A and B are shown apart, each in its own frame.
Chain A
Amino acid sequence: MAALVSSHLPALQVVLALLAAPVCLLLRRPNASWAVATAITWTLLAVSIALLERVLQSGTIIYALGGWPAPWGIEYRIDLANAFMLVIVTVIGSAVMPYARASVEAEIPVERIYLFYCMYLLNLAGLLGIAITGDVFNLFVFLEISSLSSYVMISLGRERSALTAAYRYLIMGTIGATFYIIGVGMMYMVSGSLNMADLASLLPDVGGSRTVMVALAFITVGLGLKLALVPLHMWLPNAYTHAPSVVSVFLAGTGTKIAVYAMMRIIFTVYGGMGVFDDFGLGEMLMALGIIAMIGASAVAIYQDNAKRLLAYSSLAQIGYIVLGISMASVFGLAAGIVHLFNHALIKAGLFMALGCIFLRIGSVKIEDMKGLGKAMPVTMAAFVAGGFGLIGVPLTAGFISKWYLLQAAIEKGWWLAIIALLISSLLAIIYVWRVVEAAYFQDRDKKAPAVSEAPVSMLVPMWVLIGASIYFGINATMTMDVAIGAAEALIGGIQ
């Protein structure tokens, strides 16, 4: 029995959440569906850690779904990059679950709570599916599972703008996904395969074909929409701002990150042997967009009055950093991007959790309403400050580690523009983090405002677990950096 389960771990990673979602739908009771979602998420965390350990010990795991070997069947191919992404998604999910209970009760009507957990599990299944699959069309299906469920989760927000935010995200997201399958179709036309590893060996033979390059263009734009690469980011600020707090936490930590991973996988593994960086100029294009995101989005973040929207724009800037790492097309640059992906997932999820605590207590996340919260909610605001330091990249935080490696990778490349942009963007981050800190610590709360107490422990602990982890990985970065370098080597394998 144990051997059977252990040999089917890769399938469990997706199937468990997919099966648990309708269970929540049948249970209908808020607490019961929360318990199911939590149990499943934690089980998935254990599975993903087991998979990561197995990959670290014995190398790539190849799992033929239903016993049909690739390239005929769908294959789950788990190397270090997939395994790391699985761990990132399940870690954020596991931290979100205990936090979700109190926050969801306060923000989502009781009769819809079980629907929220159902959608959350579907979303989790989709995200894990994207991370684990070795088939480009299968990736599209999971991409849409996760996207459709996140549209629904965003629309559960209390303001009516949540509906329009979800609608606009649906339009943009569907265009992105359709662009992606156009690209997949073109790859299939010339190669007759949908398996990533198979495509990687077949595509160089038809390298001169314009179809293959147009396919890459379609896929890059399509995934760019999903990962909110500036200038394809228009859906993100509204979606993060109007979604329920828990949804913002989960999406900020996982949704865009997994799309970034998909882009890395396509560019480096599938197109690895094509010289897309030398002949096609992909590196320069991505670098330019990354730099625009880093500086532009940070500058816009400074002018926001709503702290959630401020963090949303900051997310766009941080995605810019990761894309900059991709654009370097070196193992070191890509590893820096992956480390930043991990660190930023922890930091941004932690920060959105702090805003969720604040929203629970004062019913607003406007910066002007956050005056004096440093005294009223010291534990929450301390977490926000610690996370803010991570965004800026203060030494001893995880943000410093990833920016440091990005900086080194940029120096190695001699990309002076990128180095300057890194520094400017960090300075801008100081300003937008400072705006919140100033309101919370250096202004007094209005006399007439009702008294505020600290958020419940069930929300504070997950928040500090994530923020604490981001500080731990800032002090001790060897483990994350080792895994990230391994992941980058696994992704980039095709080039060498």
Chain B
Amino acid sequence: MDVINGFPGLMNYWIVVFLMMTGFYIVIAQDNLVKKIVGLNIFQVSVFVFYITMGKIKGGTAPILADGTEIYSNPLPHVLILTAIVVGVATTALGLAFVVRIRDAFGTIEDDEIQAMENED
């Protein structure tokens, strides 16, 4: 019952762990290069959720100076994650650009087929 009463409490961290492992598994197990990038994104998003959760304080509001509010959430992790999101977007864009070029060069985006072709080269 603690998990429910303390919402968001530990629940967020369970989601983080679940997303992290899901993303990581997709990156490792998928042969399709686009799906690998999707997995990477899920993996990164789990870290974003992790940071945002740790900044949250129970009963805290947005950190704006206003009458009647005394408890603020910590804005710093949220700001950090803005930076990390930018880095993530850049990485995704670059990764997808590589996939386009790889498809032009190899005619496929399946990792096992590409590896077979590379071994012949």
Contact = CB atoms under 8 A, between A and B. Distances in A.
A369 to B, nearest CB: 16
Given A141-B83, A155-B101, A174 B121 contact: no
Interface in B47-71: 47, 50-51, 54
B21 interface: no
Interface in B93-121: 94-95, 98-99, 101-102, 105-106, 114, 118, 121
A178 interface: yes
Contacts of B44: 174, 178
Contacts of A175: 24, 27, 40, 43
B94 A152 contact: yes
A243 to B, nearest CB: 14
Contact of B50 (A141, A177, A182): A182
B95 A167 contact: yes
B114 A164 contact: yes
The residue among B24, B50, B98, B106 with the most chain A CB atoms within 10 A of its own CB is B98
A151 B97 CA distance: 11
A408 interface: no
Interface string B17-51: 00000001001000001001000100110010011
A144 interface: yes
B47 to A, nearest CB: 6
Contacts of B50: 182, 185
Interface in A411-436: none
Given A148-B90, A160-B106, A189 B118 contact: no
A174 B38 CA distance: 13
A330 interface: no
Contacts of B47: 178, 181-182, 185
A137 interface: yes
Contacts of A181: 47, 51, 84
Interface in B64-86: 77, 80, 83-84
B87 interface: yes
Contact of B43 (A163, A166, A178, A188): A178
B112 to A, nearest CB: 12
20 contacts: A140-B87, A141-B87, A144-B90, A144-B91, A148-B94, A151-B94, A152-B94, A160-B102, A163-B98, A164-B114, A166-B98, A167-B33, A167-B95, A167-B99, A171-B36, A171-B95, A181-B47, A181-B84, A185-B47, A185-B51
Interface of B: 24, 27, 33, 36, 40, 43-44, 47, 50-51, 54, 77, 80, 83-84, 87, 90-91, 94-95, 98-99, 101-102, 105-106, 114, 118, 121
